[in-house]
Amino acid sequence: MRILISADMEGATGVTWTDDVVPGTEQWQRFRRLFTGDVNAAVAGLHDAGASDVLVNEAHSSQRNLLLEDLDPRVRMLTGRHKPLSMMQGVDSGVDGVVFVGYHAGAGAEGVLSHTYLENQITGVWLDGVPASEGRLNAALAAEYGVPVLMVTGDDKTCDDARDYAPEAIGVAVKECVSRYAAICTPPQRTATALKLAAERAVARAGRVEPRRGPHRIEVEFDASHLAQATAVVPTVEQTGVRKVGFEAPDMTEAMKAFKVVTAIAAGAVQGIYG
């Protein structure tokens, strides 16, 4: 049994604000350990329940945050940026399920450090007309490869979101959202136990299912008009409003590739404190 873990950081145990997740800060160094601990707890549960191979795909920012030297020695870790499937690299390798560790709510939604790809320039993303977090986008990509989402961890708002896009997945809330930069946090000793037990239960649903392929439409709303103008130069991307663009793709893989291009151009078009 082979399992993929897509590991983001904003939803990790204890994380509540910018410095906790920005590479190079003192707080980031601290929370790398807690982030690695969350992944290890999930890995322990997966292996105890029969997983024979676990691939951990680093999915946060530089995608070089987990401490390899502290990871469970039974895993393999995919680290570094510029992966074709980004946060979901490895979902096309024949895995039997995927676990989302450290995830967060989407842009425009309530949740600790809520965003979708860009930290603050995107105010909303819609997949086929439905507000889309990174979790929803990645779950749709997993479905295209016949891979079920087994478990989702993050704050309580993340788990609420997951109940809509992956209703059979087990949710583990490691903190309770108070605001975008505040949460009631559970200590790592307790979250580790909760994550391990949930992962053990989640394995029962592992097993490839019928792939769901088909066309998709993604719409992106920015906080400034020039970002919509900049991204609308991409072929197939049309500006649909002052701050909004949209595009269609024949499948989710192509949709996510186009979405990556749109977000990369938008990030490059940001000008200092005026955005």
Annotation marks residue 216 as catalytic: no
Query: Per the residue annotation, which of 82, 115, 216, 226 is the catalytic one?
Result: 115
The residue ranges of every structural domain in the chain are 2-115+133-205, 216-268
In this prediction, residues 197-202 reach a mean pLDDT of 98
Q: What is the DSSP letter of 164?
A: H
Global model pTM greater than 0.85:
yes
**In terms of CATH, what superfamily is 2-115+133-205?**
Dipeptide transport protein (3.40.50.10780)
**């559970």: which residue's tokens?**
186
CB of 39 closer than 8 Å to CB of 66: yes
Q: Is 104 annotated as a binding residue?
A: yes
Read out DSSP for 22-78? STTSHHHHHHHHHHHHHHHHHHHHHHHTT-SEEEEEE-STTS--S-GGGS-TTEEEE
Q: Is the CATH number of domain 216-268 3.30.1360.130?
A: yes
Share of the chain above pLDDT 90, in %: 100
Tell me the C-alpha distance between 109 and 125, whole Å.
10
Q: Is 238 annotated as a binding residue?
A: no
Q: Is 10 annotated as a binding residue?
A: yes
Token duo for residue 271: 């000008």
In this prediction, residues 203-208 reach a mean pLDDT of 97
Predicted confidence band at 99 (pLDDT cuts at 50, 70, 90)? very high
In this prediction, residues 98-116 reach a mean pLDDT of 98
Token duo for residue 101: 């560790």
Which residues, other chains included, contact 100 with Cβ-Cβ below 8 Å and sequence gap of 6+? Answer: 6, 8, 135, 138, 149, 151, 152, 153, 154, 162, 169
The pLDDT, as a whole number, for residue 16 is 98
Q: Is 60 annotated as a binding residue?
A: yes
What is the tens place of the pLDDT at every residue in 215-269? 999 999 999 999 999 999 999 999 999 999 999 999 999 999 999 999 999 999 9
The pLDDT, as a whole number, for residue 12 is 98
Same fold, 2-115+133-205 and 216-268: no
